[in-house]
Amino acid sequence: MAGKRIKNAREGIDRNQLYSLSEAVGFVKERASAKFDETIEVAMNLGVDPRHADQMVRGVVNLPNGTGRSVRVAVFAKDAKADEAKAAGADIVGAEDLMETIQKGEINFDRCIATPDMMPLVGRLGKVLGPRNLMPNPKTGTVTPDVKSAVEAAKGGAVDFRVEKAGIIHAGVGKASFDAAKLEENVRAFADAVQKAKPSGAKGTFVKRIAISSTMGPGVKIDPASVVEG
């Protein structure tokens, strides 16, 4: 059954053709036929080798139309900053108690934020949070004294991105139920943020390939020129 559905979803898509962003979004939305609201993912192949420090690409982008998923946020903070985090809508707020919970393997959050004074404590969790891409980092705005803005950004559609070994970067940029124009706007915002994070060591073509897909649907290749400049 699944095989037949995938075959039907691929019909009409030329796997070797580069489509414009609006065509690709249309194809993906049409073919998102699962019983749940599928996530729309963007994958970008970049002309970098992240094994070299001067070719690492990472950052954060606030998608203009959010991601469509509810994000659980944990904050390492004390006293007034802890109160500020709670007031901003953080799901879990703590210090040593939160560290102990995480060390037990209880990780009930999608994003982790910390005030700078908490980093000696949070640093002890590197082996747990690092592999899950949850370690707070100043470059992604998750180590900050302004916990209110960080929590609001995380809840509102902030997306972290980090290039993987093969030079691929990917992220969820919305849901199949989103209006096509909103999905396009989110894809452009994501691609623009990646472009701005171009490292000093990147030579030649930076954005080599872009593709878009839904959770259960086929990938559709996009002409990079219809998304990013240069």
99, 152: one domain: yes
Q: What is the pLDDT of residue 228?
A: 80
The average confidence (pLDDT) of the chain is 90
45, 151: one domain: no
Q: What is the pLDDT of residue 140?
A: 83
- Decide if 27 is inside a domain: yes
Dist. CA 177–CA 95, nearest whole Å: 38
**pTM strictly above 0.95:** no
- Decide if 109 is inside a domain: yes
CATH at 173: 3.30.190.20
60, 163: one domain: yes
| pLDDT tens, position by position, 80-94 | 999 999 999 999 999
22, 95: one domain: no
Of the candidates 129, 156, 183, which is a domain's last residue?
156
55, 79: one domain: no
User: 184 with 22: CB under 8 angstroms?
Assistant: yes
Checking if the pLDDT of 1 tops 50, the result is: no
- Decide if 208 is inside a domain: yes
200, 173: one domain: yes
Of the candidates 156, 183, 200, which is a domain's last residue?
156
Of the candidates 156, 171, 196, which is a domain's last residue?
156
**Which pLDDT band, with edges at 50, 70 and 90, does 37 fall under?**
very high
Q: What percent of the chain has pLDDT over 70?
A: 94
Q: What is the pLDDT of residue 9?
A: 55
Q: In what order do the strands lie in the sheet with 39-46?
A: 168-175, 39-46, 207-214, 220-222
87, 148: one domain: yes
| pLDDT tens, position by position, 149-176 | 999 988 888 888 989 988 999 999 999 9
The count of C-alpha atoms lying within 13 angstroms of the C-alpha of 53, restricted to the half-sphere facing its C-beta, is 0
Q: What is the pLDDT of residue 229?
A: 66
Report how many domains make up the chain.
2
52, 165: one domain: yes
Checking if the pLDDT of 2 tops 80, the result is: no
206, 133: one domain: no
- Decide if 1 is inside a domain: no
| pLDDT tens, position by position, 176-224 | 999 999 999 999 999 999 999 999 888 889 999 999 999 998 899 999 9
- Decide if 7 is inside a domain: no
Q: What is the pLDDT of residue 62?
A: 87
Dist. CA 76–CA 96, nearest whole Å: 9
88, 106: one domain: yes
Q: What is the pLDDT of residue 15?
A: 80
CATH at 146: 3.40.50.790
Q: Which domain holds residue 122?
A: 73-156
